Structure 1
Amino acid sequence: MRWVKCALLALSLALGGGGLAQADELPTYTLTFKQGGSFEPERLEVPAGRFKLILVNESNEPVEFESLPLRKEKVLGPGVTSFVVIKISRPGQYPFFDDFHQDTKGTLVVLDK
């Protein structure tokens, strides 16, 4: 019975590790919150599909990446780096903003593949 538990654990670790490897293979883009309330870049172009968006808060205040049409939000403390994974198939322009500083806005432009 013990060997069955070990085999199941090994299988789950192997499958879980494969999922992590796939996440690392995603196209990756970076969006930085700058001191003074701006995004860099303010306009980010990406191909349609699934990708990882790394969020970097270089400011001394908390920020929140939020996009209503993308249904994504992420709060970052001062100096924190995190990420969101986005999957979108429709080309178009998708606005985002810092919910704590609502004048700070940007646009994610999704292009055809």
Structure 2
Amino acid sequence: MACLALTPSGLGAADPPGEIALTIENNRFQPEELKVKAGAPWVLVITNKDKGPEEFESHDLRIEKVIPAGKTVRLKMPALKPGSYRFVGEYHEKTAKGRIIAE
């Protein structure tokens, strides 16, 4: 006899990845520190409220993505090992910076 495990979200379905919001405003990222669960994929939702584009760049994560002015983009992020991962806004590196902490 076969046995099926049921989950609240459906028949053996995996939960969708969680979303974490990041805003670009006044050439800065808000919040500057993001905390995510280590070992689980997630989605980074970046909204650019500035009048010009900004590039989200993380050498630690090997990601570069230009976010046009007034637009929102969603980046599917991989499961991360515990640790700290820095990111910057390449067009405003002195002010647009932050880190992702995977715990």
User: What TM-score bracket applies, with the shorter chain setting the length?
Assistant: 0.7 to 0.9
Q: Name 2:75's counterpart in structure 1.
A: 84
How far apart are the structure 1 equivalents of 2:73 and 2:93?
Answer: 20
Aligned length: 88
Identity %: 34
Point out the structure with the larger helix share. Answer: 1
Large movers: runs of 4+ above 2 Å: none
Residue 89 of structure 1 deviates from its aligned partner by 3.2
2:42 alignment partner AA? F
Q: Name 1:45's counterpart in structure 2.
A: 35
**Greater relative contact order structure (CA < 8 Å, 6+ sep):** 2
- Structure 1 position 54 matched with structure 2 position 45: yes
How far apart are the structure 2 equivalents of 1:86 and 1:41?
Answer: 17
* TM-score normalised by length of structure 1: 0.73
Q: Name 1:71's counterpart in structure 2.
A: 62
State which of 80, 84, 92 in structure 2 corresponds to 1:101. 92
Structure 1 or 2, whichever has the larger Rg, is 1
- Flag structure 1 segments of 5+ consecutive residues without an equivalent: 1-21
* TM-score normalised by length of structure 2: 0.80
2:78 alignment partner AA? K
How far apart are the structure 1 equivalents of 2:66 and 2:77?
Answer: 16
- Flag structure 2 segments of 5+ consecutive residues without an equivalent: 1-13
Residue 56 of structure 1 deviates from its aligned partner by 0.4
How far apart are the structure 1 equivalents of 2:80 and 2:86?
Answer: 16
How far apart are the structure 1 equivalents of 2:46 and 2:23?
Answer: 6
